[in-house]
Amino acid sequence: MKFGRLTGLSLLLFVISVTVQSTVLAHVPAAAPPAGAADAVIKERLAEFLKAYNSRNAANLAEFFTDDATLIDVEGAVVRGKAEIGAQFATGFAQSSNYTLEFEIESIRYITPDVVQIEGT
């Protein structure tokens, strides 16, 4: 898996999806939450992901994934499982790079109480 701007963005979007479904909403009540409270949790989780990625901490990044997660990069390479995804990040981070990941949320849309669509750049 090559790390680059598109790969980083794809990883981020994938992780946001996984995170919202498996981790973030564990902290948000199943009943319709106050929009501000749920949005704050999502934004906090995204900030945690960016911090782990930009500090090149593969172990922390792996914690954003479930044990049965599947990661598919923009080139179609498939990595399955939290441990393997963490190893893939570690391999990528071992390469010399000044790349950092940034993300700005433009919208958060609640499709159901436990499914959120996040758009941004």
Query: Per residue in 60-71, pLDDT tens?
Result: 999 999 999 999
Asked if residue 89 has pLDDT above 60, the reply is yes
Under DSSP, is residue 70 helix (H, G, I), strand (E, B) or coil? strand
Please give the mean pLDDT across all residues of the chain.
79
Question: pLDDT value at position 5?
Answer: 47
Asked if residue 56 has pLDDT above 50, the reply is yes
Burial of 11: CB neighbours in 10 Å, binned 0-12, 13-18, 19+? buried
| Residue 99, domain CATH | 3.10.450.50
Asked if residue 10 has pLDDT above 70, the reply is no
Question: pLDDT value at position 54?
Answer: 96
What is the pLDDT averaged over residues 13-18?
50
| Alpha-carbon gap, residue 101 to 3, rounded angstroms | 11
| pLDDT tier, 31 (very low <50, low <70, confident <90, very high otherwise) | low
Asked if residue 27 has pLDDT above 60, the reply is no
Report how far apart, in Å, the C-alpha atoms of 21 and of each of 5, 45, 92 are: 24, 12, 26
**Residues of the domain holding 81:** 5-120
Work out how many domains the chain is built from and give that number. Answer: 1
Question: pLDDT value at position 11?
Answer: 52
The structure's pTM equals 0.68
Question: pLDDT value at position 32?
Answer: 52
| pLDDT tier, 15 (very low <50, low <70, confident <90, very high otherwise) | low
